[in-house]
């Protein structure tokens, strides 16, 4: 069902139940006009059948996206499997695939498979990960990559870290930040200068945090926030070394510690709903952070081999209890409210 049909159904339902108070009907119409519908997809294509599903014009997900007609499609990273070489040709092919999925309104934030893991010994050819990040910046976020988001007229990019984007739709403010797996890119450096990689991680962390500050500075004009990135910064393995990374301790640390804490801090400072979207693990869920930040949700998106599907999200600023409604795009199933990790997580 596309977003127009969803909104029409909500109005029809109200009339069927015999609501005669004009005020209620007006509120519902207002709510419908203020809703924002979008798609979150990531951790795919890994498999040949997923590649087919995402390839226009006849892929199942392509057709479903067209039917849903979202305001924007967000790919939260990993446009290829971790075992596939990060060649120029494949990355450009996946860029064009993403463009054809939802032309001019497709936002991408890179995952570890797209750059930090490109130096694996099992790959041929292999690439120094920072070189691959430079390639992504040149081809996905500038030059030919500009067409991905050309219809998002208010989209802006962070000057030095141009993969980080911001835009807004009907008062819902979106941002992407570069948060890859492999402990924020600090682990599994098997090619090139490790110190250069750690220095880059430190700068990237500082810029990600600054970008979040810039996003939440718009609070007076915002109805809510959506922040998308690749890594599961909440997975149990982050507790192995429960300390922030530093110059003296660049590896035996939690590479997500500062960003995770900063997100909680920012969510606690606003009364607007906040949704974090990520992938990287298959503990699929829409989980509300109940403790100090009840206005804070996280969506662990579909993909990652187990479920070849995307998430359709509808934001309703007038629904205080559940402002973000999420279903699987193809299966039309609601996601669990708890994130259940398997023993390997």
> pLDDT by residue (tens digit) across 281-305?
999 999 999 777 899 999 999 999 8
Instruction: Label residue 1 by pLDDT band (50, 70, 90).
Output: very low
pTM for the whole structure: 0.91
Cβ atoms 285, 338 nearer than 8 A: yes
With beta carbons less than 8 A apart as the criterion, state whether 287 and 298 touch.
yes
11 pLDDT exceeds 50? no
Residue with tokens 């991408």: 108
Q: Is 218 a residue whose pLDDT tops 60?
A: yes
How far apart are the C-alpha atoms of 120 and 127, rounded to whole Å?
A: 8
Edge-to-edge order in the sheet of strand 311-315: 106-108, 72-75, 36-41, 311-315, 324-328
User: In whole numbers, what is the pLDDT of the chain averaged over residues?
Assistant: 91
According to DSSP, the residues that pair with 169 across neighbouring strands are 172
CB atoms within 10 A of CB 235: 18
Question: For the chain, what percent of residues have pLDDT higher than 90?
Answer: 87
The tokens describing 22, both together, are 């004009």
Q: How far is CA 322 from the centre of its chain?
A: 19
| Cα 189 to Cα 172: distance, rounded to the nearest angstrom | 37
pLDDT of res. 2: 47
Average pLDDT in the 80-100 region?
A: 98
**In this structure, are strands 311-315 and 324-328 parallel, antiparallel, or unpaired?**
antiparallel
- What's the mean pLDDT in 211-234? 98
Of 286, 303, 249, 272, give the one whose Cα is nearest residue 111.
303
Structure tokens at 153: 């007229």
Q: Which residue has the higher pLDDT, 12 or 78?
A: 78
pLDDT-derived band of residue 343, with 50, 70 and 90 as boundaries? Answer: low
């Amino acid at each position: 069902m596309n977003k127009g049909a969803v909104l029409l159904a909500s109005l029809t339902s109200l009339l069927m139940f015999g609501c005669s108070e004009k005020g209620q009907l007006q509120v519902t119409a207002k709510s419908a006009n203020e809703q924002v519908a979008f798609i979150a997809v990531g951790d795919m294509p890994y498999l040949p059948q997923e590649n087919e599903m995402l390839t226009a014009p006849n892929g199942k997900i392509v057709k479903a996206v067209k039917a849903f007609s979202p305001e924007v499609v967000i790919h939260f990273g990993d446009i290829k499997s971790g075992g596939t070489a990060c060649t120029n040709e494949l990355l450009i092919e996946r860029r064009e695939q993403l463009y054809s999925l939802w032309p001019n309104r497709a936002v991408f934030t890179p995952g570890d498979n797209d750059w930090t893991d490109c130096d694996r010994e099992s790959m041929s050819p292999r690439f120094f990960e920072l070189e691959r990040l430079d390639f992504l910046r040149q081809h996905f976020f500038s030059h030919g990559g500009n067409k991905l988001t050309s219809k998002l007229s208010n989209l802006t990019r962070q000057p030095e870290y141009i993969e980080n984007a911001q835009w807004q739709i009907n008062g819902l403010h979106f941002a992407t930040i570069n948060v890859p797996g492999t402990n924020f890119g600090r682990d599994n450096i098997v090619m090139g200068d490790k110190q250069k990689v750690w220095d880059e991680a430190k700068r990237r962390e500082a810029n990600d945090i600054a970008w979040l500050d810039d996003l939440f500075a718009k609070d007076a004009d915002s109805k809510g926030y959506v922040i998308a990135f690749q890594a599961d910064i909440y997975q149990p393995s982050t507790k192995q070394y429960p300390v922030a990374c530093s110059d003296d301790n660049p590896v035996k640390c939690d590479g997500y510690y500062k960003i995770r804490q900063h997100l909680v801090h920012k969510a606690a400072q606003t009364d607007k709903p906040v949704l974090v979207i990520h992938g990287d693990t298959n503990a699929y869920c829409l989980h509300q952070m109940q403790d100090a930040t009840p206005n804070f949700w996280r969506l662990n998106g579909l993909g990652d081999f187990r479920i070849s599907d995307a998430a359709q999200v509808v934001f309703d600023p007038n629904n205080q209890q559940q402002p973000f409604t999420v279903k699987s795009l193809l299966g039309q199933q609601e996601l669990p409210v708890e994130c259940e990790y398997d023993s390997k997580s």
